Amino acid sequence: MVRQQQDPPRPRTGAARITLERVCRAGRARADRVARARARVAVAGGASYTKAAAHAGRRAGDGVAQRVARFNQRGLAALDGQHGGGPAVPSGPAERSRMPRACARRPDRKTDGTATWSLTTLHRALRRAPDGLPHLSTWTILRTRWDAGSTCPADRTWCRTGSAMRKRTDGSVVTVTDPHATPKES
């Protein structure tokens, strides 16, 4: 006996249909995202939830029904997974929006202790800020940077190998060069 659909799929827009079909054909997309898109396309084509689940490689249609309800509420954002249990995710959208802004600013040598950001120095600066994130992990920073499309560190500066700036006792600064150091290859 086939159950009646409680929350039938709403009509898709042209852009959403194109995006769903592109995700279905993607060879390098996440498998769960592709399965959700395939199930949604199958339901939009008139298949039952059970047949759409089988088409997407799932066993039961209950998950497809829940996913269709999420599509009706949130649109294409329903392709992404949700928090799957365990401890609550400590960083929300407001905290995640602070990380790119922190990476965009140039570090202050005195307060931040560095001339360029690395993952560790950025982590330390975000945790020590007056309105800081004391439970922030380096993995969250790295994942946020990847989601924003940039890598950390994107603009590291290179120092010359074998040379250093030294401050003398009289206050003058001189460059000292090690004659035995091998130069960097370009």
Q: What is the mean pLDDT of residues 5-27?
A: 80
Number of domains in the chain: 2
Q: Are 131 and 152 in contact (CB under 8 A)?
A: no
Q: 121 lies in a domain?
A: yes
**Nearest-CA neighbor of 186 among 160, 165, 167?**
160
Residue 31 and residue 64 share a domain: yes
Q: Which domain holds residue 140?
A: 93-147
Q: 159 lies in a domain?
A: no
Residue 139 and residue 101 share a domain: yes
The model carries a pTM of 0.48
Residue 108 and residue 74 share a domain: no
**What percent of the chain lies above the pLDDT cut of 90?**
4
Q: 39 lies in a domain?
A: yes
For residue 185, the model assigns a pLDDT of 64
End-to-end Cα separation, the chain, in angstroms: 71
pLDDT in tens, 139-152: 888 887 777 776 65
Alpha helices for 78-150 (secondary structure H):
93-104, 109-112, 119-128, 138-147
Q: 84 lies in a domain?
A: no
Residue 102 and residue 73 share a domain: no
Region label for 116, one of left (φ > 0), alpha (ψ between -120 and 50) or beta (otherwise): beta
Q: What is the mean pLDDT of residues 5-9?
A: 71
Which DSSP category does 167 fall into? Answer: E
Residue 117 and residue 67 share a domain: no
* 161 — pLDDT class (breaks 50, 70, 90): low
170 or 30, greater pLDDT: 170
Residue 73 and residue 97 share a domain: no
| Average pLDDT, rounded, for the chain | 79
Residue 19 and residue 70 share a domain: yes
Q: 136 lies in a domain?
A: yes
Helix/strand/coil percentages in the chain, nearest 5 = 45, 5, 45
pLDDT in tens, 93-141: 777 777 777 777 888 888 888 887 788 888 888 888 887 777 788 888 8
Q: 164 lies in a domain?
A: no
Residue 79, pLDDT > 60, answer yes
User: What is the spatial distance between Cα 68 and Cα 47, in angstroms, rounded to a whole number?
Assistant: 12
Beta bridge partners of 167: 173
Q: 176 lies in a domain?
A: no
Amino acid at residue number 87: P
Q: 182 lies in a domain?
A: no
